[in-house]
Amino acid sequence: MANAKNAMGLALAVFLLLGTGVAAATRQEEKSSAAQVEAEKNEVKNFVLTPDKLDKYAAAVKGIRKVQKDDPVLKKQMDDDNSRNPNNTIAGSVATIEKYPPVVNALKNAGLPPRDFVVMTYTLINSAAAVQMKKSGAIKEYPDSVLPDNASFVEKNYDRIGKIFNSTSDSSDNAPPK
């Protein structure tokens, strides 16, 4: 009987310790995840847009679209993967891209590593959205999440950026949204 009580007490102590350890690990993962999200937000915010980077980005988009046009099976796999596993982090988006070597090659041929392509995509979207909101009168000042130089760059290159985002694999001359 005493052994049963000791075993029960020991089992309860182990259960409580494991439970506390799992809870602590979960809290640590949440802190780490929150820190990663914050670091990625800063990386997107602080990415400086330049004409050279935009040239590389345009070549990368064109290359990716060509790869997808030339390999419809790959395009379908990528579309399916994106719809099943939408990535909300830079790391997740990079991991998805890296699953497709022809896409990685298209990026490298354009002079952009996958991470730079992802960060630049997020920076362009964030900056272009802010510029569009300011143009429409929805905001008076740019948010802190957009560098003033990036907002100025997007304002000057708004039509070209729109063409890059709205191009299809056959054409890059579609009009940007106004």
Looking at residue 8, its pLDDT comes to 40
Same domain for 32 and 65, yes or no, is no
Same domain for 57 and 129, yes or no, is yes
Same domain for 130 and 154, yes or no, is yes
Number of domains in the chain: 2
Q: How far apart are CA 89 and CA 95, in angstroms?
A: 10
Tell me phi and psi for residue 156, to 5 degrees: -70, -30
- Is pLDDT at 178 greater than 50 in this prediction? no
Same domain for 152 and 68, yes or no, is yes
CA distances from 136 to 3, 65, 130, 149 (A): 76, 30, 10, 20
Any alpha helices (H) in the chain, and if so which ranges? 2-46, 51-70, 72-84, 90-98, 101-109, 114-136, 148-156, 158-166
| Average pLDDT over all residues of the chain | 81
Domain presence at residue 174: no
Cβ 174 vs Cβ 167: under 8 Å: yes
- Is pLDDT at 35 greater than 90 in this prediction? no
Domain presence at residue 175: no
Reported confidence tier of residue 82, pLDDT bands at 50, 70, 90: confident
The 10 Å Cβ neighbour count of residue 114 is 20
- Whole domain around residue 5: which residue ranges? 1-38
Looking at residue 36, its pLDDT comes to 84
Same domain for 87 and 5, yes or no, is no
**CA 170, 97, 119, 82 torsion: positive or negative?**
positive
Domain presence at residue 177: no
Which residue did the predictor score with more confidence, 87 or 13? 87
Which residue did the predictor score with more confidence, 122 or 14? 122
